[in-house]
Structure 1
Amino acid sequence: MRAAGVAALLLAALLLAGCGGAKTRKPGYGYGAGGSSRGGAARGTDERREGGFRDDLSQSQERRYRDSADSVPPPLDVSKLVEPVPKVEPRSLYGNKSPYTVRGQTYRVLSSARDYDERGIASFYGNKFHGYKTSSLENYDMYAFSAASTTLPLPSYARVTNLENGKSVIVRVNDRGPFHDNRLIDLSYAAAVKIGIWPKGTGLVEVRGIDPGQPLQELPAPAVVTGAHPGIYLQVGAFADAENAERLARRLRQADLGDVQVNEAMVNGRRVRRVRIGPLASVDRADQVSARIEGMGLPRPQVAVD
């Protein structure tokens, strides 16, 4: 992931292979991010035996793992597991290239987790990736409270709160992904159990970054859950020109995708009109509508959870 030659080849493989794994059907993990680093790389010290198997980074995504689909072990008692304590750590030598592109989508890695506060859809990953390398070249441990993010630096820390039940967990972000459309974060199996994302497979969450380098900073409190079920919206566009917003809204209404709204908002000091569809009944429905929108030749919509 750094200079040239073998390191450059390793970078490309680490970023492009892992989180783009086959979509798990049950219980709905999304694209296993774990392992967003999983794929071809130069042979050598990264080919080592872990837990009785060899994690051969030179193999393709389809051939690298023992299992073809993700799965989870028997139910886990997370009450005996300890959450990570945020601490200042040097950036990983791997997994922090910015910008980087996966499946035609370009992502930029943040300089720190400070002030990061996003809402979206969480998924998780389990047995298929357990013991294999993450994008930071650490071993993925599904029994640790960890996570994968497309933009947070590696490593970093965040508090993840399930907006449907108020449960939260502090995770250490050490992997890239999820690169499945409409997903904000991929949780380890333990973290998913802790906040109730497992066994459903997906859930609506708030992710707040933690910056342990800030003097006297207190850990962010869990998001406040009022009891009302948060709604899933798809933002298809944001326009300064009102007519452009209405033109897109009319097209979406003709497609009968759901309730289409045009709302005004201030973004970076500019007044824009956001065209959104929702609320949608479920994550699966949001995925279906997103696919139809892209099928209309429109850009991939952004998920908003309100």
Structure 2
Amino acid sequence: MSTDFERSDNEHRPPLGATRPATAAPLIVTPTFVSRVDDTPRGERPQDAGASKSRHGHEVHFPNWRPGALALEGDPNLAFEHWDEYWRKVHGPKFAWDEPGSSSQRVLRYDQVHRIASGPSSLFPPPYRAMVGDDGQLPADPEKHVPPLRRPRWDGFAYIAYADEDDIRKTLGQEKFDQRIVADEQVAFRTVTREITREYIIVPSARHRDPVSVVRIHMRAPGLSREEFQHRLLGEHAALVLDQPATRDLVRRYAQLHNIGSTQKDPEGSRIDAVSVFSFASLNDAEDYLVSSDHRAIDASEKALQGEGSEWWTAINYSVINRLENEVATWQLPQQP
């Protein structure tokens, strides 16, 4: 007899058919940013209490000293691959599985958004140019010219949508989520945020299955209140984005997630004032958009609003749960704060 773990994921996955009609009312999203479990020293990346568990269920307090003790993967050479596979193929189905006495039915959408190092980021944006000297030739000693890796703060995020805040409490308050899903997070992640945001869809997706996203994490500039920053981001900035021909040609979906609270004491995630998610049909389309003259105007507008700690990066989208019909825009010019 097969076990639950061995049975097909499709056998347990909640229905993928739409169960909620399109609505112009903004949904509530918990953008759950994560950093992967690895052997990075604690001084270089924060680590939640109880996270980075050993095979005996205890926190590995100094994973750079004892990487072999990590439950997910003890070989640092395999750590990233094992983590990326685990998040998508093991943790996602666990979240979606309705064990006896639990239900994920209040989750309207759950996408995993995995950052990819080969995609553009604010720390290594396109265009990418050949490494040549004054003579126009490539270096004969490339081993001496390898650029250092500049890693963004986060390795991805879970895009989880609900109809309202009460649905968040009713879902996460269940024993399955409060205990077993959190325990699984402590195996796979060093840090997990869980902010509460209001989702404004500015460019609706036609299919809900756009494969590539550019995720922009916004920290407001000094002197701006969160309310003023969000008002300007959704008002003048969104209007500028929509006005660019490259947006109409290349962007498949554009949403802003405005921070309105948190489900936990969360010093990392609480610093995030908003998140913008631009989705594309391909990685090439994303790069074409980022090198366009239209995007230079968008980037300048964004930089005028945000401050230190902001970052952006590219990710692959994986759909785990989708109970939504085709999207409609929920964006409108907000009232003055």
User: So what's the TM-score if we normalise by structure 1?
Assistant: 0.27
Q: Whose helix fraction is larger, Structure 1's or Structure 2's?
A: 2
When the two structures are superposed, what TM-score results if normalisation uses the length of structure 2?
A: 0.25
Q: Which has the higher contact order (CA 8 A, sep 6+)?
A: 2
**Higher strand proportion (structure 1 or 2):** 1
